[in-house]
A and B are shown apart, each in its own frame.
Chain A
Amino acid sequence: MKKEDIYAPSEEIVARDIEGELIIVPLTSGVGDMEDELFTLNDTGKAIWKKLDGKKSVDEIISELSEDYQAESGEIENDVTGLLEELLKRKILSKK
């Protein structure tokens, strides 16, 4: 994964906000492999997810989050890349 890469929610899922919970519903086959499988993100994941608009690069997301949360960019970088890798593996994200 490169820092200039841009990612967006995949067209193979639908992300829903139900009562403040982020629920990711697979649309096509192959996203979930378990019966009744949906996905959810923890609070850190949700904060990163909101930035994944298909316009911002990974680097820009890290900078914005570092400002929003006044945290070390190294720590934020680990969180962002960790989540992106996980979501890419599950086909929840796609590269622009």
Chain B
Amino acid sequence: MTKSYASSLKLTDFRLWEKLKKKRFLYSFDIELTARCPFNCRHCYINLPPGDKKAIKKELSAEEITHIAREAVERGALWCLLTGGEPLLRTDFPEIYMNLKKMGLLVSVFTNAALITDRHIQLFKKYPPRDIEVTVYGATKKTFEKITRKPGSFEAFQRGLNLLLENNIKVRLKAMALRSNYQELPQIAEFCRKATKDYFRFDPFLHLRFDRDCDKNRDIKEERLSPEKIARMEVSDPERFDSLKKECGRLVSEDFEKTAHHYLFSCGAGISSFTLGYDGNFRLCSSLYHPDLMYDLRKGTFEEAWERFVPSVRSLTSDKKEFLENCRTCPIINLCLWCPAHSYLEQGVPDEPVEYFCRTAHERYSRLKSLDKP
């Protein structure tokens, strides 16, 4: 019999995960390399102009990013997502990417593909990313550019995506489901299925801007689909429909209202991951922009952020009646986009219900319930 000493395993099969299940352990982190983007998408929460001097000045240097990432790796982190804004706007992207890869991180990249160059292709071919996720805003130039508000962006996106695909770089596609492209979603689905074999997903959940810009937030709200449309779209997507059906028992918990506590956070924010903002702010998750709930790594240490700041945020409580009587005890909270982070972006406080989210969750629930009926 041949004895095997080395095994190649899929990530999910490592016995390490079983070992770490019971403890707080850092698995992954996101890095927002920049808040700038060449597109000006109507629905986007982080897209300052490419030449925004204030934003450029605040951006972490490649050295600072590498230093923080090394601290995360020393705590065991294995996955890293590079996002933005548009991460490829940074001319030092290859340097940052390679520094992360050399630490033994599995690196994913979110991009609009418009800035992909031959240099990026050579880099990704030799040092493959775990995946590159490209967002598809429309299947036609008219719809695409109605959303991006950038003439020429459709051609740039097509050119970049084709370069990635022709060079066999692993691409996943995602489509934002918006009012501006709703009529075109079937064509977008067809475009995505033709381009890659991977499952692509629609994301209809838009959250408000990190900078709380009122005019731009109005654009985002205008792009949101109605709760009815979101629920209908989910049910009509066979892959999403199946996964919702499977997860239904976990998503809807009648017992939830019996768990007596008034902690703000019931989600997993900061337990096994964190987000590094472009300006050096450590956040428990990508959406948590409340100024009191971020930690400035330029003024403190990663150890302080991870070991003490996160537990202190997660132990925050609220006695607000609207929170305690609604979101905190809601049995369908897991079907809802509500969380303290989104509550802050919508209402300016981390503990208030958000009517649109609430209606959407109930609509999703009633669709799910109707699925249970024989």
Chain A residues close to B by CB (< 8 Å)? 14-16, 18-19, 21, 23-25, 27-29, 32, 34-42, 44-45, 48, 78-79, 82-83, 86-87, 90, 92
Contacts and interface: CB of A to CB of B under 8 A. Distances in A.
B78 interface: yes
A47 B125 CA distance: 33
Contact of A23 (B12, B14, B19): B14
A35 B322 CA distance: 46
B16 A21 contact: yes
A27 B9 CA distance: 16
Given A19-B16, A39-B7, A40-B14, 17 more contacts: A14-B102, A16-B104, A23-B104, A28-B128, A35-B170, A36-B12, A36-B130, A37-B8, A39-B8, A41-B6, A42-B6, A45-B6, A48-B5, A79-B5, A82-B2, A86-B5, A86-B6
B76 A34 contact: no
Contact of A38 (B2, B14, B15, B128): B14
Interface of chain A, main secondary structure: mixed
B72 to A, nearest CB: 12
A28 B104 contact: no
B5 A29 contact: no
Contacts of A25: 78, 104-106
Given A16-B104, A42-B7, A90-B6, A29 B126 contact: yes
A27 B2 CA distance: 28
A9 B327 CA distance: 53
B122 to A, nearest CB: 11
| Residue among A18, A29, A35 having the largest count of chain B Cβ atoms under 10 Å | A18
Contacts of B101: 14, 27
A18 B6 contact: no
